[in-house]
Every structure is written in C-alpha cells, then in structure tokens.
C-alpha cells in the first residue's frame, strides 16, 4: 500500500467514526432526563415549552418517521416529498444540516448560532481569543511544557540509570502522574495565589496577563509530562542496549554524538507517537482545569452546555473532539513512517 493510498484510506475511515460518535451522542443526550427549557423560570407554562419545541424541531421523532411516510403516500405526494417526510426527524435533520456546514442554533445562547458561540469573538478581538482559540492555546502550551519537561527528564534519568538523579526523577514523575489534576490545581492555587500572592486567580484576563497561563498550563500538562518522561526513559534504555549503539561506541564516536545522533532518533519514535494523541487529550481533557481556573474555553462551555441541555452545542463539541483525536492519530501514523523508514504504511518490513 502506497503512502497516498494509506492516507486516503485513513481519511475515509474518519467518516464512519464521526457518524458513530454523532449517533451515540445523540442517543445518550436525548435519553438523559430533562430538556433545554427545564431550567427556565417559565418552565411551568407548558405552552411556551411546546412552542419552543415546535420552533426548534424538538417535537419531531428522534429518527426516521415511517408514519409520516405512510401519511404522505395516502395523500398522494410525490417521491421527493414522501422521502422528505420519511427523514423528517431530529437526527436526520441534524446530519443533513451538518453536511451543509450548519451547526444549528444554540438553545441556551438566545439569538446565536453554535458556530458563533464556539468560533465567534466579541468587541473585534482577534480570532485566537475565541472559546476554541483559548482552549487550543491552553492545550498547546500544556503540550510544550510536557515535552520540554518530560523528554529531558527521561533522557537524563536513562543516562544516569540507578543513580540518585534517576531515583529523584522517578519520584517527581510518580508524584506528577499520581496526583489528580484537580487536586494539583488546588495545591498550586493555595501556594502561588494564597501563600505567595504572586498570581491572581479571580477575574483573570488571560489575554492581558501572560502570567495567568502559568498555573493552568502546569496543572494540565504535568500528567502528560510525567508519562512522557517515563516513556522516554524506557525507550532510551531499550535503545542503549542495541547492537548499533555498541558498534557506534566501538568506532570511537564521542558520547555526545552517540546520544544525539543515534540514540535520540530511535528513542523518540514512541514519544512522537504519543505526542499527537496527547495534544488531543489535553484539549479534550481540559474540562475541570478550565472550570477551576476560570478559562473561558470550549471545555468550560461543554460542561455548561451539558448541565443546561444545550443539545446542538453538545453535539458540535463532541464531534469536534472526535475529529481532533482522529486527525491526531492520522498525523502520528504519517510522522511515524518518516521517522523510521523501515516502517511501511500498515506493516513493518521483516
């Protein structure tokens, strides 16, 4: 299989994946008790709720409507009208709207579309200050911190195996990976905001003070940094025992050349494989951190949308997260082949 065929095949596989995610999310979302109007003060007036359901199409059946199709046939409607009656249901209408690039209106942000809620900015601010831009910024900063902290620690720990440096690194890594993010967030808030008073965590403007990104970046990226350090250490130790490393040293090459040119290239393959999904995981796993530190991103928006039953926003964000993870894994597969020429698309040479 050529590289182009592999990429096309993987891209096409994203379509059924997104459809499955949409279907499962839609079923779970509507199976959950409550609706988008239940938190309104006027929920006692059922007439208003019924009118809102009719306006947004929530009074229609969830899936294909055979009753409407049979009624259309009795009334002698044409083939096109009968087909439209058959698919006149919530999920099918949403899918067709999605194919047209329409994410629909938000049920809770009155007068605003889902696209405007997620991608829009106010007061002529730059596009990266939107909710999705804020979350992407936090995720990228957390990944950069994780790689900048985890990879060097793993390399040093492997080169200093079974020494005090190695044990100290493993101790730090275990703490970083073992303590939950929300607990670490509380601890850092107490230390830096309460005791030291160097960071303000109340009414933060993340785009006016760059120091505000410090705590959420560390809290979000620390578990990833710990995992990257352990992965790098294990990969380095495995590469160090390889025959070609002993051959390189037997040729008289300097230790710096052996480490940088021969060890790192192969030792970082698992780390790069991990980095793509890690970025997707950081972006999709920022719900608690954004809520804890008051970051106005899509993680905080998703939590609020679930509690308020904003169906269209929930669907849009879930599909976005699924697409992000699928693209991250596709990018990793492609980069993996470039790092190790022995690896072919979908198989490895013997």
- 214 contact partners, CB below 8 Å, separation of at least 6: 192, 199
Three-class SS of 54-92 = HHHCCCCCCCCCHHHHHHHHHCCCCHHHHHHHHCCCHHH
Q: Which residues of 322-339 are buried (b: 16+ CB within 10 A; e: fewer)?
A: bebbbebbbbbbeebbee
Record the tokens describing residue 316, joined without a space.
């849009």
Domain extent listing, the chain: 3-119, 127-230+274-348
Instruction: Look up the pTM and report it.
Output: 0.74
Q: For residue range 224-259, list pLDDT tens digits in order.
A: 899 889 888 888 888 877 777 777 777 777 767 777
Q: Give pLDDT tens digits along the chain (350 positions).
A: 666 777 788 888 888 988 899 888 888 887 777 777 776 555 546 676 777 777 776 767 677 666 655 555 555 565 455 555 555 677 777 787 888 888 888 888 877 888 888 888 777 777 777 888 888 888 888 889 999 998 889 888 888 888 898 899 889 888 888 888 888 888 888 888 788 877 776 656 677 777 778 888 888 888 889 988 988 888 888 887 777 777 777 777 776 777 777 677 778 777 877 777 787 778 776 778 887 887 888 888 888 888 888 888 898 989 988 888 888 878 777 776 665 555 555 454 44
Residue 289: C-alpha distances to residues 29, 221, 273, 301, 303 (Å):
24, 11, 25, 12, 11
Q: What is the mean pLDDT of the chain?
A: 77
> Is there a contact between 255 and 116 (Cβ–Cβ < 8 Å)?
no
CATH for the 127-230+274-348 domain, from 1.20.1070.10, 3.40.50.300, 1.10.1840.10, 1.10.3720.10: 1.10.3720.10
Greatest pairwise CA separation for the chain in angstroms? 90
Q: 């107490």: which residue's tokens? A: 190
């Amino acid at each position: 299989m050529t590289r182009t065929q592999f990429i096309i095949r993987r891209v096409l596989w994203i379509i059924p994946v997104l459809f499955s995610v949409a279907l499962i999310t839609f079923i779970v979302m509507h199976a959950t008790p409550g609706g988008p109007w239940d938190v309104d003060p006027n929920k006692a007036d059922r007439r208003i709720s019924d009118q809102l359901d009719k306006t947004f199409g929530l009074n229609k059946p969830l899936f294909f409507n055979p009753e409407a199709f049979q009624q259309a046939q009795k009334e002698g409607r044409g083939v096109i009208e009968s087909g439209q009656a058959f698919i006149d249901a919530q999920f099918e209408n949403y899918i067709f709207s999605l194919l047209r690039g329409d994410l629909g209106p938000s049920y809770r942000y009155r007068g605003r579309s889902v696209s405007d809620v997620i991608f829009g900015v106010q007061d002529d601010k730059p596009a990266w200050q939107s909710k999705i831009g804020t979350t992407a910024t936090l995720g990228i900063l957390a990944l950069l911190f994780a790689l900048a902290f985890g990879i060097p620690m793993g390399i040093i720990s492997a080169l200093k195996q079974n020494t005090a440096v190695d044990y100290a690194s493993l101790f730090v890594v275990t703490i970083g990976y073992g303590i939950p993010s929300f607990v670490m967030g509380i601890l850092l808030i107490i230390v830096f905001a309460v005791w030291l008073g160097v960071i303000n965590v109340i009414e933060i403007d993340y785009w006016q003070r760059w120091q505000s990104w410090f705590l959420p970046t560390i809290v979000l990226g620390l578990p990833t940094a710990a995992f990257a350090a352990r992965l790098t250490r294990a990969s380095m130790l495995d590469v160090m025992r390889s025959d070609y490393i002993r051959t390189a040293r037997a040729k008289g090459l300097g230790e710096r050349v052996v480490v940088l040119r021969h060890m790192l290239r192969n030792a970082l393959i698992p780390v790069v494989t991990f980095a793509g999904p890690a970025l997707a995981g950081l972006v999709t796993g920022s719900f608690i951190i954004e809520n804890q530190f008051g970051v106005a991103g899509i993680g905080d928006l998703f939590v609020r949308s679930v509690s308020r039953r904003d169906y269209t926003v929930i669907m849009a964000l879930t599909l976005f997260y699924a697409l992000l993870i699928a693209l991250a894994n596709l990018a990793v597969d492609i980069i993996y082949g470039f790092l190790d020429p022995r690896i072919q698309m979908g198989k490895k040479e013997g």
